[in-house]
Amino acid sequence: QQSELNSFLWTIKRDPPSYFFGTIHVPYTRVWDFIPENSKKAFQHSHIVYFELDLTDPYTISALTSCQLLPQGENLQDVLPRDIYRRLKRHLEYVKLMMPSWMTPDQRGKGLYADYLFNAIAGNWERKRPVWVMLMVNSLTEVDIKSRGVPVLDLYLAQEAERLRKQTGAVEKVEEQCHPLNGLNFSQVIFALNQTLLQQESLRAGSLQTPYTTEDLIKHYNCGDLNSIIFSHDTSQVPNFINATLPPHERITAQEIDTYFRQELIYKRNERMGRRVKDLLEEYPDKSFFFAFGAGHFMGNNTVIDVLRREGYEVEHTPSGQPINNRKNPKTWSTFSSSSPAYTPYASAQELPRPPKEEEELLPHLLLPDSVDLLEKADRKYKKKKRKQQKKQRFRQFNDLWVRIEE
């Protein structure tokens, strides 16, 4: 019965076909066994795999980090109302205290320890913009901590694509995901941070069950519930602040925030992502693409699928039992040199140093990367490697020229 239900795979009808696949930001081990075989086959058979962002590229992580920081010389204490700052500090002290008891034996076995994990997630909190602190607090719960150390589904697919030597790329720039979050006005951000703290404080006091938990998200995903509103919150990675207990004026603020994020983090991105998918399909008509984006981009109104259909493409949902038919065989991966600019209209996984596995796998979430010091390390490594590559590149270009003239 299970296998009849869930499929987050859509086929873009052409020869060879391309695919859309909806992911969620949870440890892949929680959902992998429920993902239908034909979705996995579509992934294996495709020539090129595209994600929202390139999660294996240290530059992506480093750019996400700097986007989260307050302007040089500013600290949270300077910008937050004193009461909220005090509650935030107290809550983070509580989390740090509780963390050792939240961690699983499995995590300890992998050599993860509580102090390291806390610093990786919250180490630099005083320098972050309030909206990012709000998201950080939201992810510092017992359930979320227990799941650290295992790659989330989209990161796992990116690692698999790399292992299978597939060409990979990304349809978005970091700024396009990050700037909308920085676009909320100050009173909206303070409202959101206050609501998040209230929710966490009630959880601590035992008087509240969270409305949308990770467990609910996993259940809806594994059951293939294509209608669930829950995916839009996972995709925008912003919690839902609208609840019946709010006084009317606060409910209006919550509604405004929800509308803003839906517009900026889902609809506008869907439009842009859809156009870029169309450009790639047109540029490489003989390649099979596998586009792995957050499931919320394929559900509700104005989806990425709607954008493609509007452009005349036939896109259909692919149930789990349906065989995958890739008529044109994938050529050997080596024909797509990863230094070729052909596949890099937005960003691509060039041959870059990858962050050490355990650091990379702590990334909970596209929008909540690890602590700045870890990332700065990756960034420095990246810049050093890039300088080396540029030198090599210059030499190679000269060499190519020389060989060509000789011919």
pLDDT at 399 over 60: no
> What does 310-349 look like in DSSP terms, one character per residue?
HTT--EEE--TTSPP---SPPPPGGGS-TT-GGG-SSEE-
Q: Which alpha helices (DSSP H) does 206-247 contain, by range? A: 214-222, 230-236
Backbone phi, psi, residue 85, to 5°? -60, -45
Query: Are β-strands 18-23 and 9-12 bridged in parallel, bridged antiparallel, or unpaired?
Result: antiparallel
CA torsion 268-270-271-274 (nearest 10°) is 160
pLDDT at 84 over 80: yes
Q: What is the mean pLDDT of residues 320-339?
A: 57
pLDDT per position as a tens digit, 190-238? 999 999 999 899 888 876 666 557 888 899 899 888 777 777 767 656 6
Residue 380 pLDDT class (50, 70, 90 cuts): low
Confidence (pLDDT) at 253: 84
Q: What is the mean pLDDT of residues 62-84?
A: 95
Backbone phi, psi, residue 97, to 5°? -65, -40
Highest average pLDDT, of 276-280, 344-348, 351-355, comes from: 276-280
Q: Which run of H or of E encompasses 51?
A: strand 48-51
Q: What is the mean pLDDT of residues 175-190?
A: 91
pLDDT per position as a tens digit, 102-125? 999 999 888 888 999 999 999 899
Highest average pLDDT, of 6-15, 198-207, 236-245, 306-315, comes from: 306-315
Residue 302 pLDDT class (50, 70, 90 cuts): very high
Exposure string for 237-258, b = 16+ CB within 10 A, e = fewer: bbbbbeeeebeeebeebbeebb
Helical packing angle, 174-182 and 268-283, nearest 10°: 170
What SS3 class is residue 292? strand
